Amino acid sequence: MIGLRKLFERDVPEENPETEVDASGHSADEIVEEFRSVILDQLMRGGVGAECVELDVRPSGKQRDGRTTFVGMLRLVHWERMSAVRLLLGLPILESRVRRMVRGSWLHDVSHFGGIWLHASGQLQDTHAMEDLRTLVVEIEKREHESQPPSGASVWSLPTDVGSLPDR
């Protein structure tokens, strides 16, 4: 019985996508490093300090055309007010600029860009960063309310001593 089982088992070669070369002649490592370079360059141009974020670029699947989609995973790890605000509010701008740079490079010919995902590190929870962020949200809302009719307070702008919202 063991011999019969071995007969039907396929010998699948071990795959190593990091070093595999695709039809374009570029390895996944080369593509990842180029995406990293483009994203880090745009972060720098946007005024986001490199020490404030960690960046991981990873493949997220293949498209019908056979090209792999890559995504940038950003993690806000250090609260520096200006960099953090630029990143949190400017994420759509950052992603748009990265897309533009990718379209104008060889990356567009060999891969797809799936976007940038942002995660705030758990290390920032319950720190002065959260109070600073709350203050910024309140300031922005105050400026908005001065120019438009009031529409109610957001949950994020509520004082920290408010335990819960009233039942509706």
Q: How confident is the model at residue 101 (pLDDT cuts 50, 70, 90)?
A: very high
- List the CATH code of the domain at 21-146: 3.30.300
Write out pLDDT tens, residues 32-53. 999 999 999 999 999 999 999 9
pTM of the entire structure? 0.71
Instruction: Give residue for tokens 């001065």.
Output: 146
Going from N- to C-terminal start, the domains of the chain cover: 21-146
57 strand-pairing partners: 72
Answer yes or no: are the C-beta atoms of 83 and 47 closer than 8 Å. yes
Distance separating alpha carbons of residues 156 and 137, to the nearest angstrom? 7
Q: What percent of the chain has pLDDT over 70?
A: 73
Give the pLDDT score at 146.
Answer: 78
Helices 28-45 and 81-103: angle between axes, nearest 10 degrees: 130
102-112 pLDDT tens trace: 999 999 999 99
More confident residue, 15 or 152: 152
Q: What is the mean pLDDT of the chain?
A: 80
Tokens at 24, concatenated: 């374009």
